[in-house]
């Protein structure tokens, strides 16, 4: 018996090898790309030396797109919070076929290709005032695309806790609707709201399909700029751009993950 | 118990309170009931009998069908939602707020009532002490046992000094031993507070122990209202008799002022004809062949410690349950004779 548990057979090594191979497959391109952004001349290779020149150039030329991406992402988060959380609450409190239908309809923008959604937006609202040239046009697309993720995440948590009884408990103690919503409903859905926020932020910052059609030369976001630089500039600049993207998004992801873990009710 | 915990005893009156749900299902037939101030009334019945609906109508979580009225004292509260009725409610699942500590849960209703902080802290502490929860004040709800959660739920409902206390199957989620000790605690508390309390349960033991009066319900109707003794000894009909405790059914024949059961004849005042008699297991006694009213064979003997419960099959008719005190050595297959105490026999229509 002991030999079985102590000695690792060929199966173990095979699995380990396979796992490492998959990990390498996923991480090597990322590492290569980031390294490329720090290499003086990519075609010569690492021996040409490391430099921050490309990163510096990206920050100089593209800082506008980075800021706009962040601006859109946080505006998008604000919109999905204001729209999505009450929507999830309404769906959770109202059982029945109609509510389930609305729930499914909300998922539509995820199922329909981003290009199609963007085209529909342009055809319908492209001529409304200055909307077409405003960053708000991109925001509208992003909200449409990310809202279902917020609703789903919050709805999942609301379904797991007995929201109706919790609210009845609060009401029996004299709390009116608004007080119940802010002191009992929202705090107990915190983990879902945080998980949804995480999704919305990352999806919005990285969104390309919709944005590519909706942007104008003056409203370029980071992923669109990235595509441009890969298409038309030195590969080192595109890679440095990717590096900036990682540096921007990873810390906020870690922060939100930490918050979500702390907020999860352990009941 | 400190004097400040003695609460007002507000009577509750239900007038023609029925409930029909969307879709036409009738959950509750129109009901008239007066609950006296300070009284503990227990709604008892199987699931789906309308007892919880009645409680929710009193609470303000459901509104009665048009025409029904709910009165607290002289005040008509029918149109008020639960948050404006000043009731205390204990839910089957407790409905404690997982995002708050024990003390914050108890303080919630006082905060809503905008009590100044020092007064709030004092009353929370007082209530936690009364419920033996002082050491748990800072705990989160998920760190408590079932019994402790139950006591927090009670503390939270009582600390606001509600006009009436409503309890919806508060002990169902607990195991048997804990249920017994908490039942005693609740009983002591309700007597001490003097509050009008409405308690819903499907457990007849709980109903007997806690209720000043019991409302037995079946299929959306009230089957009987009475003290535990009345319900037990004078059940209004066959349903109540069967639902409360164990009841034996005996066939008898009345003729000319005498009732014959088996080989015995007892004086009888009812009309002539076949009579169905109800007898509690403790009102049947073992007897010698000479004294016995009828005989039978022991089909099962269950030793319960303080007594032995026999199932006796008479020559004709359904099996009878008989409780015998003392150290009975009877077992399966033994022949026994039984005696009925005529004063304790019930004839039910």
Q: What is the CATH number of the domain that holds B319?
A: 2.40.50.140
Residue of B nearest to A190 (CA): B99
Average pLDDT of the residues of chain A: 84
Residue A236 backbone dihedrals phi, psi, to 5 degrees: -60, -35
CATH assignment of the domain containing B8: 3.40.50.300
pLDDT at A267: 36
Q: Nearest CA to A76 among A251, A257, A213, A221?
A: A221
Residues B222 and B339 in one domain: no
Q: Nearest CA to B156 among A101, A184, A121, A105?
A: A184
Q: What is the mean pLDDT of residues B299-322?
A: 85
pLDDT of A266 over the 50 cut: no
Which chain B residues are Cβ-neighbours of A95 within 8 angstroms? Answer: none
* Domain carrying residue A108: 55-263
Residues B235 and B330 in one domain: no
Residue A24 backbone dihedrals phi, psi, to 5 degrees: -60, -45
Residues B176 and B213 in one domain: yes
| Predicted complex ipTM | 0.82
Q: How far is CA B116 from the centre of its chain?
A: 39
Residues B235 and B343 in one domain: no
Q: Nearest CA to A118 among A213, A207, A205?
A: A213
Residues B71 and B170 in one domain: yes
Q: Nearest CA to B18 among B27, B9, B6?
A: B27
Residues of B near A (CB-CB distance < 8 A)? 59, 61, 81-84, 86-89, 91, 93-99, 108-109, 112-113, 141-142, 156-157, 160, 166
Q: What is the mean pLDDT of residues A199-208?
A: 87
Residues B153 and B29 in one domain: yes
Q: How many domains does chain A have?
A: 2
CA triple B275-B276-B278, angle to 5 deg = 135
State which of B191, B217, B243 marks the end of a domain: B243
- Which of A66-80, A96-110, B239-253 shows the highest mean pLDDT? A66-80
Minimum distance, in Å, between the CA of residue A69 and any CA atom of chain B: 34
Cβ contact, residue pair B160, A174, below 8 Å: yes
Q: pLDDT tens for residues B58-101?
A: 999 999 999 999 999 889 999 999 999 999 999 998 999 999 99
pLDDT of B332 over the 70 cut: yes
Share of chain B above pLDDT 90, in %: 41
Residues B188 and B279 in one domain: no
A232: which residues sit within 8 A by CB, 6+ positions away?
none
pLDDT of B264 over the 90 cut: no
Q: Looking up tokens 């639960």, which residue turns up?
A: B82
Q: What is the mean pLDDT of residues B32-50?
A: 91
Strand duo B248-255 + B258-261: pairing: antiparallel
Which chain B residues are Cβ-neighbours of A171 within 8 angstroms? Answer: 61, 81-83
- Strand ordering across the sheet containing B164-168: B87-90, B164-168, B196-201, B40-44, B213-218, B221-226
B76 beta partners:
B71
Are the C-beta atoms of residues A170 and A132 closer than 8 Å to each other?
no
pLDDT of A186 over the 90 cut: yes
Q: pLDDT tens for residues A145-175?
A: 999 999 999 999 998 888 889 999 999 999 9
Q: How far is CA B169 from the centre of its chain?
A: 10
Minimum distance, in Å, between the CA of residue A88 and any CA atom of chain B: 19
pLDDT at B326: 67
Q: How many domains does chain B have?
A: 2
Residues B27 and B62 in one domain: yes
B62: which residues sit within 8 A by CB, 6+ positions away?
B19, B53, B56
């Amino acid at each position: 018996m002991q030999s079985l548990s102590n000695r690792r057979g060929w199966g173990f090594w095979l699995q380990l090898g396979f796992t490492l191979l998959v990990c390498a497959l996923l991480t090597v391109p990322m590492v290569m790309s980031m390294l490329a952004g720090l290499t003086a001349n990519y075609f010569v290779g690492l021996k040409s030396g490391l430099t921050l020149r490309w990163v510096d150039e990206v920050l100089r030329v593209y800082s506008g797109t980075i800021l706009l991406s962040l601006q859109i992402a946080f505006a998008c988060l604000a919109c999905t919070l204001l729209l999505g959380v009450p929507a999830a609450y309404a769906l959770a409190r109202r059982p029945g076929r109609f509510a389930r239908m609305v729930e499914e309809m909300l998922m539509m923008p995820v199922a329909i290709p981003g290009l199609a959604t963007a085209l529909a937006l342009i055809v319908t609202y492209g001529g409304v005032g200055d909307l077409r040239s405003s960053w708000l046009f991109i925001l509208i697309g992003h909200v449409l695309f990310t809202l279902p993720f917020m609703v789903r995440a919050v709805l999942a948590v609301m379904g797991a806790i007995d929201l109706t009884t919790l609210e009845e408990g609060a009401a029996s103690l004299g709390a009116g609707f608004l007080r119940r919503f802010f002191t009992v409903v929202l705090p107990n859905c915190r983990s879902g709201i945080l998980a949804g926020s995480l999704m919305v932020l990352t999806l919005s910052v990285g969104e390309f399909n919709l944005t590519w059609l909706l942007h104008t030369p003056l409203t370029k976001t980071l992923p669109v700029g990235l595509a441009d630089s890969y298409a038309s500039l030195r590969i080192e600049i595109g890679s440095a751009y990717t590096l900036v993207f990682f540096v921007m998004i990873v810390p906020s992801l870690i922060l939100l993950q930490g918050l979500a873990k702390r907020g999860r009710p352990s009941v | 118990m400190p004097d400040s915990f003695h609460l007002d005893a507000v009577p509750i009156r239900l007038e023609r309170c029925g409930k029909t749900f969307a879709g036409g299902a009738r959950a509750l037939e129109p009901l008239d009931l007066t609950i006296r101030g300070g009284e503990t009334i227990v709604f008892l019945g199987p699931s789906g009998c309308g007892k919880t609906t009645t409680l929710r109508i009193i609470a303000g979580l459901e509104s009665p069908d048009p025409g029904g009225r709910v009165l607290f004292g002289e005040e008509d509260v029918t149109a008020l939602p639960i948050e404006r009725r000043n009731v205390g409610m204990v839910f089957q699942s407790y409905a404690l707020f997982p995002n708050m500590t024990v003390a914050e849960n108890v303080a919630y209703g006082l905060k809503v009532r905008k009590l100044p902080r020092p007064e709030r802290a004092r009353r929370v502490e007082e209530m936690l002490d009364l419920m033996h929860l002082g050491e748990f004040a800072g705990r989160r709800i998920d760190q408590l046992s079932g019994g402790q959660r139950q006591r927090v739920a009670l503390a939270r409902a009582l600390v606001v000094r509600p006009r009436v206390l409503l309890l919806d199957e508060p002990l169902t989620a607990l195991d048997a031993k804990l249920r017994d000790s908490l039942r005693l605690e609740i009983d002591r508390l309700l007597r001490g507070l003097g509050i009008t309390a409405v308690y819903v349960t499907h457990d007849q033991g709980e109903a007997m122990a806690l209720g000043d009066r019991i409302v037995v319900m079946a299929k959306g109707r009230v089957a009987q209202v009475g003290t535990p003794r009345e319900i037990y000894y004078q059940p209004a009909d066959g349903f109540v008799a069967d639902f409360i405790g164990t009841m034996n059914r005996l066939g008898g024949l009345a003729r000319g002022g005498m009732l014959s059961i088996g080989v015995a004849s007892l004086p009888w005042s009812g009309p002539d004809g076949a009579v169905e008699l109800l007898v509690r297991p403790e009102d049947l006694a073992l007897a010698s062949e000479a004294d016995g009213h009828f005989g039978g064979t022991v089909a099962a003997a269950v030793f319960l410690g303080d007594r032995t419960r026999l199932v006796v099959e008479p020559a004709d008719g359904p099996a009878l349950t008989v409780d015998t005190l003392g150290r009975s050595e009877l077992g399966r297959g033994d022949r026994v004779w039984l005696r009925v105490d005529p004063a304790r026999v019930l004839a039910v229509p």
